[in-house]
Structure 1
Amino acid sequence: MSSKYFQVGQGVWGMRLLFVNIYMIANRRGVGKGWVLVDTGVKGSEDKIIEMAESLFGLGTKPTAIVLTHGHADHSGSLKALLKHWNVPVYVHPLEVPYLTGRSSYPPADTSVGGGFMTLISWMWRTTPINVSRNLREIDPYDGIPELPEWKVIHTPGHTPGHISLFFPLNTTLIAGDAFTTTRTESAIYALSYIKKISGPPKYLTTDWYAAARSVRKLAALQPRIVATGHGPVMRGRELLTSLSFLANRFEALAVPKEGRYVRSSAIADENGVRYIPPQTTNRKQTVGLALAASVAAFWLVKQLW
C-alpha cells in the first residue's frame, strides 16, 4: 500500500498509513508560522511522516506543534517516537489528557457491533494509555491552538470524550478525525482499500452514541466543502454535502449499530478518565468469530498497532 502523500486543499496535505490518515497544515500566521502535524498514525509510522515533512517543507524541518484529534492507538501510535525526533508541544482537548498521561485506559473495543472483519479483530487494538505529559498542552476551548490561529477547534465527543475536529472557515475545510469517516471502517475490504462511503465513527471503538450523533450534526451544520477524515479518502463539493447531510439526518439508522455494549448505555468519563463501562454482551457466534479472526490476523496487526 502506498504511503505517498496527497493534497487536501490549499496548505493542507495528507498521507495514508495502512488504514489511517495523518495531515500536515502549513500556516500563514500563528506562533512561529511553519506547519502543524495532525495525528501520528499507527506505531512505526514515524519515518514515513518525517520523510513526508522533509519533502514538503525541507530537510531538517519540524512542526511547530502536533495536534491529536484523539488518542486512540491508530492516531497516536508514532507520537512517542516522533517526540524523540521533534521536541514540540502536543495539543489535545482536556478530556483526552488522561489517556496521554498514563492515568486511564480507554474503554475496551466492542466486538459485538458487526460490520465486518475489522470489528472482529478490534479487541486487539491498544486501549491502554501512553505518557507524553512533558509535551502535552491542553487546548483552550476559547483561544484554540496558538500555532493554528485560523483554524477553529470543535469539540466532537462520542468516539472518545475529548475528540476534536479542526475547521478552516476561509475555504470550509474540515479535518474530522473519527467523528465520522469516509469509508466503512468495520470492513477490511473498505478500510484497507479506501473505498469511499461516508459513515459514522468506527463502531467498535465508539463509546457514546448519543454524543456521536450530536457531533456529526454539529459538523454537518458547518457545510464544509472539503472533508479529510481519519479513515477514508478526501471528499469534496456536492457529493460531500449531500452525503454528510443524509448521514446527519439519519444518523441513528445509518451509523448506530443495532446491538452492542455502548448502544443503550454509554461509557462515562471525566477529566480523570473513565468512570463507568457498561457490561459486555457476547454470544457464542461472536466468540467463535473472534477466535477465527484472531488466528488469521493477530500476528500482523499486533506488529503494526502495538
Structure 2
Amino acid sequence: MDQFEHNETSNEEYHMGHAESEQVLDDIAFYRALIVNVIFLGKEGTDEWVLVDCGIGHYSKRIIKAAEKRYGTTKPKAIILTHGHFDHVGSAKQLADYWEVPIYIHPLELDYVTGKRDYPVGDATVGGGLISLMSPFFPTHQADLSKYIHPLPNDGSVPFLKGWRVIHTPGHTPGHIALFRDSDGALISGDAFITVKQESSMAVFIQHQHVHGPPAYYTHNWEEAEKSVKELASLHPQVAITGHGLPMEGELLTEQLHDLAANFKELAVPKHKNN
C-alpha cells in the first residue's frame, strides 16, 4: 500500500470511529453526515427503529457504524425519506442493500428517485455564500431506488412509527414531507425549514443556530414553501430536528419559527424572487 492509500484508509478509519449519533429525546437521535442530518427514531437498544434520510453519497459505512453504536446489529424496519435531493438520498441505495429494508417516500417524489425525472438545477443567483454558487453543479439525477422504494400511505400514517404522522410540506420539492408527533410536539422538518443558513459555507461550518427558510438554491416554489412553513408553525412544535443545522426546542424555536412564518417573504424568499 502506498502512502496515499494508507492516509486515505487511516482517514476513513478515523471518521468511522467517530461516527456516533447525538440524542435529542430518548427515542430520537441524529448523526451529521457532513452537511446534512440523518435521524434515528427509536430508543437506544430497541429492535424497532426507523432511519429518516440517508445523507450524501459515500456515507453509508459511517451511518451504519452510528446505527450499530445505538442499536447493535439490529437493522431498521424501514427508511423514510423527507424528499429526494442528493444530500438526503445519497447513501440510500447502499444502506438499503446492506440492511435489505424498504424505503418510503411521498408519491410526488417517486419519479425523482426512480430515474424518470430530474430535479431542476441549483440556482446560484439566490446569493448568500459559496454553497449557493456551487449549487448548479450539485447532482440532479439520483440513484434509481426502484428495487426498494414504496409510496407513503395516503392516510398520513408512517410505516412502523406509531404516534407519528406525515405532513405534506411542498415547496422545496413537490413531495417534501415532515413528520410530527402530537403527543410531545416532536417535529422532523426535513428542509421545509432549517436551523442554519445553508447557502453559506461559513454558517454551515460553524453551525450558527437560527431558524431559516428552506435552502434557497434548491427551492423552486416559494408560494408553496411559505404555506408549508405556516402549517408547521401552526402545530406549535416543542422540538424540531431539521435536515440541516442543530435541533432547536422551547421558546427559542417557537419565537423564531413563528417569526419566519409571519415574515416569510422578507426572511426567506430571495429579493429577486419576490418580484
TM-score (norm 2): 0.90
Task: Please give the alpha-carbon distance, in whole angstroms, between the structure 2 residues aligned to 1:226 and 1:143.
Answer: 20
Give the secondary structure class of the aligned counterpart of 1:134.
coil
8 Å Cα contact 1:141/1:153 also seen in 2: no
Aligned to 1:103: 116
Aligned to 1:128: 141
Q: Residue 80 of structure 1: CA displacement?
A: 1.0
Q: Does 2:97 correspond to 1:81?
A: no
Q: Residue 9 of structure 1: CA displacement?
A: 1.4
8 Å Cα contact 2:126/2:270 also seen in 1: yes
Aligned to 2:179: 166
Which among 8, 14, 21 is matched to residue 30 of structure 2? 14
Task: Please give the alpha-carbon distance, in whole angstroms, between the structure 1 residues aligned to 2:159 and 2:56.
Answer: 26
How big is each residue's C-alpha offset from its partner over 1:182-240, in whole Å with a ceiling of 9 and x where there is no partner?
Answer: 00001111112211121000000001000000000000000001000000001010000
Identity rate, percent: 43
8 Å Cα contact 1:93/1:164 also seen in 2: yes
Aligned to 2:227: 214
Which among 225, 237, 249 is matched to residue 250 of structure 2? 237
Which fold has the larger relative contact order, with Cα–Cα distance below 8 Å and residues 6 or more apart in sequence?
1
Q: Does 2:48 correspond to 1:34?
A: yes
Q: Does 2:161 correspond to 1:153?
A: no
Give the aligned residue type for 1:17: A
Give the aligned residue type for 2:222: W
Task: Please give the alpha-carbon distance, in whole angstroms, between the structure 2 residues aligned to 1:143 and 1:167.
Answer: 10
Q: Cα 1:181–1:112, aligned 2, differ >3 Å: closer, same or farther?
A: same
Q: Residue 3 of structure 1: CA displacement?
A: 4.6
Which among 67, 83, 100 is matched to residue 70 of structure 1? 83
How big is each residue's C-alpha offset from its partner over 1:12-35, in whole Å with a ceiling of 9 and x where there is no partner?
Answer: 10011111100010179xxx9610
Task: Please give the alpha-carbon distance, in whole angstroms, between the structure 2 residues aligned to 1:99 and 1:8.
Answer: 31
Q: Cα 1:101–1:27, aligned 2, differ >3 Å: closer, same or farther?
A: farther
- Counting matched residue pairs gives 258
Q: Does 2:65 correspond to 1:51?
A: yes
8 Å Cα contact 2:156/2:167 also seen in 1: no
Task: Please give the alpha-carbon distance, in whole angstroms, between the structure 1 residues aligned to 2:128 and 2:148.
Answer: 37
Aligned to 1:301: none
How big is each residue's C-alpha offset from its partner over 1:123-169, in whole Å with a ceiling of 9 and x where there is no partner?
Answer: 11101132111211101231522211210100000000000000011
Task: Please give the alpha-carbon distance, in whole angstroms, between the structure 1 residues aligned to 2:50 and 2:258.
Answer: 29
State the Cα RMSD in Å. Answer: 1.7
Task: Please give the alpha-carbon distance, in whole angstroms, between the structure 2 residues aligned to 1:190 and 1:27.
Answer: 31
Which among 236, 261, 268 is matched to residue 223 of structure 1? 236
8 Å Cα contact 1:103/1:129 also seen in 2: no
Structure 1 stretches of 4+ with a deviation exceeding 2 A read: 1-4
Gaps of 5+ in 2: 1-14
Give the aligned residue type for 1:258: K
Describe how 1:260-279 pairs up with structure 2 within 5 A: 260=273
Task: Please give the alpha-carbon distance, in whole angstroms, between the structure 1 residues aligned to 2:227 and 2:33.
Answer: 29
Task: Please give the alpha-carbon distance, in whole angstroms, between the structure 2 residues aligned to 1:138 and 1:17.
Answer: 25
Give the secondary structure class of the aligned counterpart of 1:259.
helix
Task: Please give the alpha-carbon distance, in whole angstroms, between the structure 1 residues aligned to 2:47 and 2:155.
Answer: 20
Give the secondary structure class of the aligned counterpart of 1:253.
helix
Give the secondary structure class of the aligned counterpart of 2:147.
helix
Which among 199, 202, 209 is matched to residue 186 of structure 1? 199
